[in-house]
Chains A and B, each alone.
Chain A
Amino acid sequence: GAGVSQSPSNKVTEKGKDVELRCDPISGHTALYWYRQSLGQGLEFLIYFQGNSAPDKSGLPSDRFSAERTGGSVSTLTIQRTQQEDSAVYLCASSASATDTQYFGPGTRLTVL
């Protein structure tokens, strides 16, 4: 079917507000990843879901960041009390298994004023 989709494509928020970013992976993909790419920076791993296993949260930068994956499909990344340094493009990717090609969504550009 369709590729990985993310919403919203752009989000502007005020410092201190909470935001939710959504990722719809490719149907049937068991692995789902969240990354962050700041302006001029490389790709930063945030969190990884694989099937029913406990997620790998080792990349989350602070306890303001959390993510869920409901029913093994859609995932939501939540950032509480946003800060200006959270401004970045948040990318979601899914793959059929841990070793397979990751297919990336178009990203959500988050701007915290």
Chain B
Amino acid sequence: GEDVEQSLFLSVREGDSSVINCTYTDSSSTYLYWYKQEPGAGLQLLTYIFSNMDMKQDQRLTVLLNKKDKHLSLRIADTQTGDSAIYFCAEYGSASKIIFGSGTRLSIRP
């Protein structure tokens, strides 16, 4: 079946940029998403990108899509302690449902 993969952990110094990477296998993906889960809270949609786009920017967030390599990334500029969370990559494609990665836990060090 289709698969979405992410690294499990990322540690970043406060003020630096964070880059969370994701790879997927479905060449028919049409929508790609980033969700955020803060400690003790539910998942919330951060941003999404259509597969015919290669970049989307929203304030401190930049999403880059390399459709050829099936690689999605989320860049958080000027990372703050409030950005500590688990970030889930997800895609919608040939399976006709949204498939999530396992999540990347972002920790911020002073």
Contacts and interface: CB of A to CB of B under 8 A. Distances in A.
A25 interface: no
A43 B92 contact: no
A83 interface: no
Interface stretch (A12-20, A61-69, A98-106): A98-106
A99 B31 contact: yes
Contacts of B35: 102
A91 interface: yes
B42 interface: yes
B102 A99 contact: no
B109 to A, nearest CB: 20
A35 interface: yes
B7 to A, nearest CB: 11
Contact of A50 (B30, B48, B86, B97): B97
Given A42-B101, A98-B98, A99-B92, A58 B42 contact: no
Contacts of A91: 42-43
Nearest to B1: A58
B99 interface: yes
B101 A98 contact: no
Candidate in A33, A35, A98 with the most chain B CB atoms within 10 angstroms: A98
Contact of A43 (B45, B97, B103): B103
A48 interface: yes
B10 to A, nearest CB: 14
A43 B103 CA distance: 7
Given A35-B100, A42-B86, A98-B98, 15 more contacts: A42-B88, A42-B101, A43-B43, A43-B88, A43-B100, A58-B1, A95-B98, A98-B97, A99-B98, A101-B45, A101-B48, A102-B45, A104-B43, A104-B44, A106-B42
Interface of A: 31, 33, 35, 41-43, 45, 48, 50, 56, 58, 91, 93, 95, 98-99, 101-102, 104-107
6 contacts: A48-B97, A50-B97, A56-B95, A56-B97, A102-B43, A107-B42
